[in-house]
Chain A
Amino acid sequence: MSDVLRVDAREKVTGKARYGADRTPEGLLHAAFATATIARGRIVEVDTAESEALAGVVSVTTRFGEDELGPPSFVMGGGYGTQSLQPLRGDRIAHRGQPIALVLAENPVVANHAAELITATYEPEAHASHLDADQAETLLQREAIPIPFADDLTFGDAETDMAAAQTVVDATYEHPAQNATPLELLSAVVQWHEDRLLIHEGTQNAGALRNGLARQLNLDPQQIEVRSRYLGGAFGQRNAQHPYLAPLVLAARRAGRPVKLVLTRQQTFHQASFRPQTRHRITLGADATGRMTAAVHEIDQQTSRHDLFPGGYAKVTSRLYGIPSYRSRQRLVRNDIQTPGYVRAPFEQPGVWAFESAVDELAARVGADPVAFRLANDTSHDPVSGLPFSSRHLGECLRRGAQAFGWEQRPLAPGDWTDDEGNRIGWGVAVGAYPANVTPARARVRVEPDGTVLVETDGHEMGQGLTSAVTSLVTRELGIPAEQVRVRLGDTRVGAQPLTAGSWGTASTLPAVQAALEQLKAGESGAEAGNGLPTALADRAANGLVAAAGPVYGEFAAFSFIAHFVEVRLERVTGRIRVPRVLSVADCGRVANRVTAASQVRGGVVWGLGAALREHLVTDPRLGGFLNASLEEYPISVNADICAIDVDFVDRPDPLLNSSGVKGLGEVAMVGVAPAVTNAIWHATGQRLRKLPITIADLPAGGRRPPSGPSTGGSRPTG
């Protein structure tokens, strides 16, 4: 495939790309929310007097009628919303930070000021904010959500094989809650034109916004247009209709003016979905030859009191290797929080971190090199379904990566490697996988009078490079330069725009575009095609519902794979953990567009490093919510944290999944980075650390080398 530079880069570097809130229509009003200061209970009274008296305030609304503002629906319960809780519709408070009043004002300063002046009295109730809280309620997921999707995975006989194993690792891992924190604040501009509604919002799911609003406000979906051309990052946080949207639309109708809302950063922490806290117990057994024979993965995951957010951790940990016996047990723990949700590699990041940490420990126990151990346990078949993988080049990822990283220089024993300056060195490896799902997509292609080829398609551009991948495909198929291709997406005027998530965007959109291009090449001047998924699925997608196929298809199972190699240095003087280099080799089928794909992997690695060493939401057990709800205190990686990240691709088309040969990439990129880091820290120190993030305080002697420790080696790796 011919590769193109990011096609919308020019608009982005000039500031011309317009994101959701970059619109100021005539007569615009600005909205702001006042929010609850308790975690659970009932609102007794909201005092809005002071706020309403403020110059420039247009309206303050504390409650909408139940007939006016219909009930919300949860995206994982066959609906459209991030949660099934609709604020401003009743008196229940289900989490701290839940909106209790909506202000409209002439400018943002007044709106925010007015919101701050609003106070309320509550009847608070005892609440639970974390896995071990007293008031938390624990459910067995397979009983709470009795559908196959949420079921545990069991095959072989894990108990018997574990008992027969020669070597067993049994360890528990703590993964914190995390927030996606896309840099663009959650925001929307809503505007009525007579009985037509126009929404500008950066969303991954314009179709759900359209259909969700229609259902809640008793409108015809055709009355609603949603535009989401650019998103300032999403990572799962923009995957459904947010509870703020319907009230905003009603307020705009009452005011007869367009309304803009930009949530504060603190509010995005307290209102938007987040990666739930999890605990993983992993038990792994190996026989005398170093083959893994049995695995058990038990998970406890937070959910909200009002929704069941199903965990899917076992789907990937069961498929990393050819382990013949496996059993999972997933439990949900109800807390008084907003409903958690999908954050980049939602289950794979925590689950694979725990699993790959245990695998590394098992390799060390049997005295095997961690790369060799992983290669020895590779498989060509999906152990869950028994079907072959459509393609699986994980072995090649490992071999290529080891070679390029200079792995053979790595001493087998941990804790004994330092550089000339006395900094401890550790090298770690881990693998990752991610389901290759697909969703229905349609595409229209037309040649304009000036020779431009216009592609109108389903899909959202979140920065992953979908527009560039489509352009790349068109240039290759038609032999025209990128400048002659125009792509329109993320807009309900050009398609149903179902959810773009789960790394299925490119693998879903490209085959539709390709099919339309075939028609065009056959002589049509304009063509339209779908991507060939069954009609039942396509109908769901057309109505804004989640509609994904895979990863098990009739005759094969499809996953993307990756191997990461990480070097850590523990600075002698400061004890600081540095990661001077990372090397990642991905198997994502055919690389749809190398420039943007490589950036996606580097970005995924940055996320993995952040997850390993920095990011965690600190829950507030006293008041509920999070103590570090700002970009200052919720520590994402900064430029100075990141050094060399080298990326390589196997770049072999998947022969079965779709006509374009592509599998997903955006999430698998991140999976396995965190365990490669913790495995490297073990290699540097001899310590297995089982709670993320790892900070200086977790390291023996605060990361510094104990004064008595002999400094052996002093060799500096050159790979």
Chain B
Amino acid sequence: MQIKVTVNAEPTLMDVDPRESLLDVLRERLQLTGTKKGCDHGHCGACTVHLDGRRVLSCLTPAVQADDTTVATIEGIEGIEGPDGELHPLQEAFVRNDALQCGYCTPGQIMSALACVAEGNAGSDEDIREFMSGNLCRCGAYVGIVAAIRSYAAGQP
């Protein structure tokens, strides 16, 4: 069936299989491979994107459900590689705090963290840990991830 979805500010019209996940559509059809597949079952958070501003697991989201919505992926977050090539401040914080190793969970962590802060769930380290626990990091970069989110959240109004 046909869906109309705005992906990273680009209105897109496409035919999708009702069985197809938003994750597969992003990765395999739109070549937005920044969003990762770590399980395809909603267990790891690597596929986190924003759907109408909320964080969702794109592997559990049928593409048809994205009809008439706005999707943001890591490639489209505001401020990313702006005119001077600057990063979004949260991305910057991830780099400065070395909040990653292999980087495979990182796009999902960042999408999740943006939402976590916007939801008001980044008030303390304990909150951050709790509300970021849906995003697994097998490299074990959690200390850096919490530090990055803390420093970004502290700079937020």
Contact = CB atoms under 8 A, between A and B. Distances in A.
Interface of A: 5-6, 8-19, 21-24, 28, 30, 107-110, 113, 181-185, 230-233, 235, 262, 264-265, 462-465, 595-596, 598-600, 602-607, 630-632, 636-640, 642, 644-645
A91 to B, nearest CB: 30
Contacts of B94: 9, 13
Nearest to A235: B138
B101 A184 contact: no
Interface in B20-51: 20-21, 24, 27-28, 31-41, 43-44, 46
Contact of A639 (B19, B96, B106, B146): B146
Given A14-B81, A184-B38, A9 B33 contact: no
Contacts of A600: 101
B85 to A, nearest CB: 9
A313 B24 CA distance: 43
Contacts of B66: none
A642 B99 CA distance: 14
B136 A183 contact: yes
A651 to B, nearest CB: 18
10 contacts: A5-B98, A14-B74, A15-B35, A24-B31, A28-B28, A107-B24, A108-B24, A265-B41, A638-B136, A639-B128
Interface in B39-98: 39-41, 43-44, 46, 73-75, 80-81, 87, 91, 94-96, 98
Contacts of A23: 33
A233 B20 contact: no
Contacts of A598: 98
Contact of A606 (B107, B132, B140, B146): B140
Given A181-B138, A183-B138, A262-B37, A14 B101 contact: no
Nearest to A55: B17
A185 B136 CA distance: 13
Given A113-B19, A463-B139, A604-B140, A10 B102 contact: no
A426 to B, nearest CB: 22
B81 A464 contact: no
A423 to B, nearest CB: 16
Nearest to A647: B143
Contacts of B27: 22, 24
The majority secondary structure among interface residues of chain A is loop
A133 to B, nearest CB: 29
A181 B104 CA distance: 12
A595 B32 CA distance: 30
Contacts of B101: 233, 463-465, 596, 599-600, 603
A17 B140 contact: no
Contacts of A630: 39, 41, 43
Contacts of B24: 107-109
A262 B46 CA distance: 15
Given A183-B104, A631-B39, A18 B33 contact: yes
B95 A13 contact: yes
Given A183-B38, A603-B139, A607-B140, A232 B102 contact: yes
Contact of B106 (A13, A595, A604): A13
Contacts of B32: 15
Contact of A6 (B21, B73, B95, B132): B95
Given A24-B28, A109-B20, A15 B107 contact: yes
B130 interface: yes
Which one of A18, A233, A604, A636 has the greatest number of beta carbons of chain B within 10 Å? A233
B105 to A, nearest CB: 5
Contacts of B100: 6, 9, 12-13, 463
Interface residues of B, number: 58
Contacts of B95: 5-6, 9-10, 13
Contact of B142 (A16, A19, A596, A639): A639
A605 B140 CA distance: 8
A452 B41 CA distance: 44
A232 B143 contact: no
Nearest to A601: B140
Nearest to B132: A639
Which one of B21, B39, B138 has the greatest number of beta carbons of chain A within 10 Å? B138
Contact of A264 (B34, B40, B140): B40
Contacts of A642: 129, 140, 142-143
Contacts of A24: 27-28, 31, 33
B140 A602 contact: yes
Contacts of B12: none
Given A233-B139, A636-B136, A596 B102 contact: no
Contact of B129 (A603, A607, A632, A639): A639
A639 B91 contact: no
B103 interface: yes
A182 to B, nearest CB: 6
A636 B138 contact: yes
Contacts of B122: none
B115 interface: no
A691 B90 CA distance: 41
A13 B86 CA distance: 12
A631 to B, nearest CB: 4
A631 B137 CA distance: 11
B141 A603 contact: yes
Given A230-B102, A233-B138, A14 B91 contact: yes
A395 B33 CA distance: 48
Q: Which 3 A-B pairs have the closest CB atoms?
A: A15-B34, A606-B140, A463-B102
A464 B21 CA distance: 32
B110 interface: yes
A182 B36 CA distance: 13
Contacts of A235: 138
Given A183-B104, A463-B103, A639 B133 contact: yes
Contacts of B31: 24
Contacts of A262: 37
B120 to A, nearest CB: 18
Contacts of B91: 13-14
Given A13-B106, A14-B80, A182-B102, A599 B141 contact: yes
A438 to B, nearest CB: 22
A20 B40 CA distance: 17
A503 to B, nearest CB: 15
Contacts of A607: 140
B129 to A, nearest CB: 4
B145 interface: yes
B40 A15 contact: no
A274 to B, nearest CB: 14
A16 B34 contact: yes
B75 to A, nearest CB: 5
A602 B129 contact: no
Interface string B101-121: 111111100100000000000
A265 B132 contact: no
A107 B29 CA distance: 10
Contacts of A19: 33, 36, 104
A109 B142 contact: no
